Chain A
Amino acid sequence: MTRLILRRLAAVPVVLIVIILLGFLITNILPGNPAELRAGQYATTEVIERTEASLGLDEPWYTQLRIYTGNLLQGDFGENSLTGLSVSDDLGARWPATVELTLVGFLLGLAVGLPLGVMAGLRSNGIWDHAGRLVAVVGVSLPVFWVGLLLIYFFYAELGWAPPPTGRAQIGTEPDDVTGFYLLDSVLTADPAAFWSSLKSLILPAITLALLVAAPVARIARSSVLEVRNQEYVTMAIASGLPRRVVLRRWILRNAMLPVVTMMGILLGYLIGGNILVEIVFAWPGLGGYAFESINNNDFAPVQAFVIVTALAILMISLVLDVIYAWLNPRVRYAGAED
């Protein structure tokens, strides 16, 4: 197992180098000039040229790449051309928001989707199956921003149960900053009002994300359980008189979880990089909106930083997945041990 992890970790730098190069090249090829962005639309040519020089954009691309990677090694992602703020600070302020929302939404989605899918698979065409199908159809067919808007409309505008969609907490009730995670910070600073406020603000966006997660997880879990349930080794286990609980846990679930875990990995990676719409609908100040704006402006430094951070997150997620895989499936473990 350790070897497997080490082997995977060894691949990380290679992948990162490729990502850094790609990010650099793509942003440089696309139209758009950070100096123009920085100097403003109506700046005179002299001002733009001076800005280009001060940003090092008048250097050849390989020199720029060298300076850029040199800065990266020191943890400096450069600066946002529009605001002049450090991209590292920008990301630092935003990633806790995204991670907090993603994790809560993801776990909530799993908590709903997994049992639904498993029950549906075990008792196909039963009531669980119908419930699962409903969730799946709703979750897959409705665009996520639309679900978010509907939730806001009913629970905030019509019923008045939900707090106003103003981001991570109601205005004026934010917890003091410790880690950037509001729920955690309000616990650490023993601030129940902030905790309650953050939790309330988190509920609707988390439900929206959860729906996005629950639907595919439930569908995959159902079909996978259904398939495994009809395998001969399961019939064999049941015929041998093993208790149902044991058969379920050791034969059915363990085997059925493999495709589900794969799906979870894909979903989590997708959410970290891409719940832009949910963030915009709920005014959630996370990475998604930041990346979106930067891409729209083709502002080199933030886009590249976003690509790198997302790639790192996905690498880490797939590493964890591989470990879970190996634990679930001995074949992976042995294959890893052999070489």
Chain B
Amino acid sequence: MTEDRDRIARALERQALTRRAFVKRGVALGVALPSLGAILAACGSDSATEAASTSTGGAAPGPVASSGLSTTPKTLIPSTPTPNIIVVTQTEPDHFDPHSFHSIEGFNATLNQMDTLVEWQFTEDVDAGIFDAPFTGEITPLLLEKWEVLEDGGLYRFTIRDGIVFNSGNPMTVDDVVWTLQRGVNIGFMPTLMGLGRITKENQITKVDARTFEVKPAGKVPEVFMIGLLNMPLSGVLDYELVKKNVPAAAGTAEPARWAEDWIRKNPAGGGPYSLKEWQPGNQYVLTAREDYWKMPPSNSQVTVKVVPNPEDRVLLLERGDADLAWGLPRKAVKERLADVEGVTVENYPSVNCVWIPLNVEVKPLDNVKFRQALSYAVPYQTIIDEVLFGFGQQLKSPVPNGMPSHDPSAFVYSTDLDKARSLMAEAGVDKATLDISVRQLVDDDNQIAIWLQQSFKEIGVELVINKQTDSVYQSKLAAREHTMSVQNWISWVNDPYYHLTWLAKTEPKKGQGATFNNYSNPTVDKLIDEGLYETDAGVREAKSKEAQKIVVDEASWLFLFQPDYLVSRRSDLKGFTRYEDEQFRYHLMYKDEEA
């Protein structure tokens, strides 16, 4: 028992847990299979929707008597770890390279095995049984001890925490961190992201001494943006010593060849709460908790992540208690079935996930602003939220979603108004039109949205042809920006309007590089984004963001659809779920409360 008390005390001390009551807690939601777009999301969000959360501050409660007999736990740290947590998921991870994974599952498997340099501060909500890590919160050092902003954002100095040990047993050193970041300049999607932080060359990241390294961006970068970039799961630090031991050096150097890409894909080489016990492709992977995890021993000893491709099966498994947590459940089943099942808790949280339809401005008559505006008046906004989201979401009213700083819905004039749409068609000089929308054949949301639009557009004389495609066809046409219309979604990993708009609204330097998807280009918007991105004055940042949002909304190059909620369905006795707004599961604080 003393051991348990110590354990709790240690945990509380290290985490500096603060209690925070937040009211916003909700309904249920099944995460729509987030596509790659969702992965690449950036983080950040602030909060109109979060206004409901009120921090009561307060100091850590200390190791209050969770003396085993108490029926109302004072903390979400269990006295003994749960032996096994079972999670069911749609598909398996693609691989474990934090710099190039491209599936939600890969992202999730990686981040549970690999600590990052910084993380969102999370707080304990004992009543709700969860931890909360909103985008509105602070970013705190994790593998870092501290960071210093020098030269007004022109130079960053980082000090790493002492005594971190990787899963391999190697101690973490500055060399590991520097190599990892330098690798990021070269591998997968990382160069794109690091480029946003004005880091494009390996020599911009340098070791200073045994505990310190510096990053020198090519120009000033505001702290909020630089630390936001570092907060992405992609900054998981790789075990350089282990990599060197396993990967032959490139000819003439001491460095592992090709940044050890092939090896790291298959071998999670980092340090975190879990290590990979086994991976049976197509079947399951098992994570073993590291009892010596530096921060605190995980609240469970093992997590089994089982591939169950059929969503209906996942619903039944959760319902019967054979799974503790499920990914990607159909919203219909969540609402009509699971929400009423005893022993299952369904929660929905507002999310900064954006779902919209980019209108390809190079396809006639979509090059006509009036015509695009006409379409914007013909979208059955509420019907789609009711019928596709089953109410689990809110309307998207700006390219910068509700929940992200500087979100401004005031420019959004569109509503479902077919008369207005017809008169705009007349103004555009378009009598009738035929358009096509590309949908991924396996993604229900795409198909349903397309059908609702098809019906509504018919009313104003626009025939919408639904073009179902396999993923490979869809992706290659998307890469060439050849879709006339398609359904896109996106969560920005950095909850910053400029990070977000750089991807979604800035002219792509080359087709396929960026995420506007629709060949949209407006020099004024580009200029506003460029100026705002590295601006350090918060007021100026906000004003320029609002200006850019207004232009994008006026020009109607998107059909703005919705922000689906983050829907979590879990067994009610599963406590310690951590709500991160990147919509990923962190397993290490989860446990099963036998008394519940």
Give 10 closest A-B pairs by Cβ, nearest first: A32-B472, A298-B472, A285-B282, A285-B283, A164-B322, A84-B265, A40-B102, A283-B308, A42-B189, A31-B476
Chain A residues, Cβ within 8 Å of B191: 43-44, 46-47
Q: How far is B476's CA from A39's CA once the two chains are assembled, in angstroms?
A: 13
Q: How far is B316's CA from A153's CA once the two chains are assembled, in angstroms?
A: 8
A25 at the interface (CB under 8 A from B): no
Chain A residues, Cβ within 8 Å of B478: 41
B304 at the interface (CB under 8 A from A): yes
Chain B residues, Cβ within 8 Å of A166: 88, 306, 308, 317, 322
Q: Which residue of B lies closest to A90 (CB)?
A: B281
Q: How far is B94's CA from A54's CA once the two chains are assembled, in angstroms?
A: 19
Contact of B91 with A40 in the complex, beta carbons under 8 Å: no
A165 at the interface (CB under 8 A from B): yes
Q: How far is B91's CA from A299's CA once the two chains are assembled, in angstroms?
A: 16
Chain B residues bordering chain A, tally (CB within 8 A): 56
Q: How far is B237's CA from A205's CA once the two chains are assembled, in angstroms?
A: 43
Residues of A39-88 contacting chain B, CB below 8 A: 39-47, 54, 82-85
Contact of A167 with B283 in the complex, beta carbons under 8 Å: yes
Q: How far is B470's CA from A295's CA once the two chains are assembled, in angstroms?
A: 8
A-B pairs with beta carbons under 8 Å apart, 27 shown: A33-B476, A37-B472, A40-B36, A43-B188, A44-B192, A45-B512, A46-B191, A47-B187, A83-B281, A84-B262, A84-B265, A90-B281, A94-B282, A153-B316, A157-B320, A164-B317, A164-B323, A166-B306, A166-B317, A167-B283, A167-B307, A171-B86, A171-B304, A283-B308, A285-B307, A297-B472, A298-B473
Contact of A32 with B281 in the complex, beta carbons under 8 Å: no
Contact of A283 among B187, B266, B309, B471 (CB under 8 A): B309
Chain B residues, Cβ within 8 Å of A39: 100, 188-189
Q: Which residue of B lies closest to A168 (CB)?
A: B283
Q: How far is B479's CA from A280's CA once the two chains are assembled, in angstroms?
A: 29
Chain A residues, Cβ within 8 Å of B471: 296-297
Residues of A in contact with B, size category: 35 or more
Chain B residues, Cβ within 8 Å of A289: 282, 309
A36 at the interface (CB under 8 A from B): yes
A251 at the interface (CB under 8 A from B): no
Contact of A171 with B192 in the complex, beta carbons under 8 Å: no
Q: Given A41-B102, A165-B316, A285-B283, 16 other A-B contacts at CB below 8 A?
A: A31-B472, A40-B36, A41-B40, A43-B191, A47-B188, A84-B266, A93-B280, A93-B281, A94-B281, A153-B316, A165-B317, A166-B306, A167-B284, A283-B306, A289-B309, A298-B470
Q: How far is B312's CA from A298's CA once the two chains are assembled, in angstroms?
A: 26
Q: Which residue of B lies closest to A84 (CB)?
A: B265
A317 at the interface (CB under 8 A from B): no
- Smallest Cβ distance from A116 to chain B, in angstroms? 30
Contact of B513 with A45 in the complex, beta carbons under 8 Å: yes
Q: Which residue of B lies closest to A93 (CB)?
A: B281
Q: Which residue of B lies closest to A81 (CB)?
A: B94
* Contacts A43-B189, A83-B94 given; does A283 touch B313 at CB 8 Å: yes
B536 at the interface (CB under 8 A from A): no
Contact of B316 with A156 in the complex, beta carbons under 8 Å: yes
Q: How far is B317's CA from A205's CA once the two chains are assembled, in angstroms?
A: 17
Contact of A43 with B317 in the complex, beta carbons under 8 Å: no
Q: How far is B473's CA from A168's CA once the two chains are assembled, in angstroms?
A: 33
A325 at the interface (CB under 8 A from B): no
Contact of B310 with A283 in the complex, beta carbons under 8 Å: yes
Cβ proximity bits B72-94 to A, threshold 8 Å, 1 near / 0 not: 00000000000010101001001
Cβ proximity bits B21-46 to A, threshold 8 Å, 1 near / 0 not: 00000000000000011001000000
Q: How far is B476's CA from A31's CA once the two chains are assembled, in angstroms?
A: 7
Q: How far is B310's CA from A167's CA once the two chains are assembled, in angstroms?
A: 11
Contact of B316 with A43 in the complex, beta carbons under 8 Å: no
- Smallest Cβ distance from A82 to chain B, in angstroms? 5
The winner among A83, A167, A289, A297 for most chain B CB atoms within 10 A is A83
Q: How far is B476's CA from A32's CA once the two chains are assembled, in angstroms?
A: 6
Contact of B308 with A42 in the complex, beta carbons under 8 Å: no
Chain A residues, Cβ within 8 Å of B317: 164-166
Contact of B266 among A30, A42, A85 (CB under 8 A): A85
Q: How far is B123's CA from A275's CA once the two chains are assembled, in angstroms?
A: 48
- Smallest Cβ distance from B61 to chain A, in angstroms? 36
Chain A residues, Cβ within 8 Å of B446: none
A281 at the interface (CB under 8 A from B): yes
Contact of B472 with A167 in the complex, beta carbons under 8 Å: no
The winner among B309, B473, B510 for most chain A CB atoms within 10 A is B309
B475 at the interface (CB under 8 A from A): yes
A152 at the interface (CB under 8 A from B): yes
B211 at the interface (CB under 8 A from A): no
A293 at the interface (CB under 8 A from B): yes
* Contacts A149-B312, A166-B306 given; does A296 touch B442 at CB 8 Å: yes
B7 at the interface (CB under 8 A from A): no
Q: How far is B322's CA from A149's CA once the two chains are assembled, in angstroms?
A: 17
Q: How far is B472's CA from A160's CA once the two chains are assembled, in angstroms?
A: 40
B95 at the interface (CB under 8 A from A): yes
Contact of A83 with B265 in the complex, beta carbons under 8 Å: yes
Q: How far is B319's CA from A293's CA once the two chains are assembled, in angstroms?
A: 27
Contact of A296 with B472 in the complex, beta carbons under 8 Å: yes
Cβ proximity bits A290-333 to B, threshold 8 Å, 1 near / 0 not: 10010111110000000000000000000000000000000000
Q: How far is B1's CA from A45's CA once the two chains are assembled, in angstroms?
A: 58
Contact of A83 with B95 in the complex, beta carbons under 8 Å: yes
* Contacts A54-B258, A82-B94 given; does A41 touch B307 at CB 8 Å: no
Contact of A152 with B266 in the complex, beta carbons under 8 Å: no
Chain B residues, Cβ within 8 Å of A47: 186-188, 191
Q: How far is B312's CA from A149's CA once the two chains are assembled, in angstroms?
A: 8
Cβ proximity bits B309-353 to A, threshold 8 Å, 1 near / 0 not: 110110011011011000000000000000000000000000000
Q: How far is B52's CA from A278's CA once the two chains are assembled, in angstroms?
A: 46
Chain B residues, Cβ within 8 Å of A172: 84, 304
Residues of B96-139 contacting chain A, CB below 8 A: 100-103
Cβ proximity bits B431-460 to A, threshold 8 Å, 1 near / 0 not: 000000000001000000000000000000
Residues of A153-176 contacting chain B, CB below 8 A: 153, 156-157, 160, 164-168, 171-172
Chain B residues, Cβ within 8 Å of A165: 308, 310, 313, 316-317
B515 at the interface (CB under 8 A from A): yes
Chain B residues, Cβ within 8 Å of A282: 313
- Smallest Cβ distance from A316 to chain B, in angstroms? 24
- Smallest Cβ distance from A156 to chain B, in angstroms? 6
Cβ proximity bits A117-151 to B, threshold 8 Å, 1 near / 0 not: 00000000000000000000000000000000100
- Smallest Cβ distance from B467 to chain A, in angstroms? 13
- Smallest Cβ distance from A102 to chain B, in angstroms? 16
* Contacts A39-B100, A93-B280, A289-B282 given; does A283 touch B307 at CB 8 Å: yes
B477 at the interface (CB under 8 A from A): yes
- Smallest Cβ distance from A177 to chain B, in angstroms? 9
Contact of A152 with B281 in the complex, beta carbons under 8 Å: no
Contact of A171 with B316 in the complex, beta carbons under 8 Å: no
Chain B residues, Cβ within 8 Å of A293: 91
Contact of A36 among B187, B262, B479 (CB under 8 A): B479
Contact of B309 with A36 in the complex, beta carbons under 8 Å: no
Contact of B472 with A30 in the complex, beta carbons under 8 Å: yes
Contact of B475 with A32 in the complex, beta carbons under 8 Å: yes
Contact of A36 with B476 in the complex, beta carbons under 8 Å: yes
* Contacts A43-B192, A166-B322 given; does A281 touch B310 at CB 8 Å: yes
Contact of A36 with B313 in the complex, beta carbons under 8 Å: no
Contact of B40 among A42, A82, A280 (CB under 8 A): A42
Q: How far is B326's CA from A164's CA once the two chains are assembled, in angstroms?
A: 14
Residues of B186-210 contacting chain A, CB below 8 A: 186-189, 191-192
* Contacts A39-B100, A84-B95, A166-B306 given; does A44 touch B316 at CB 8 Å: no
- Smallest Cβ distance from A278 to chain B, in angstroms? 11
Q: How far is B101's CA from A170's CA once the two chains are assembled, in angstroms?
A: 29
- Smallest Cβ distance from B582 to chain A, in angstroms? 16
Q: How far is B102's CA from A299's CA once the two chains are assembled, in angstroms?
A: 14
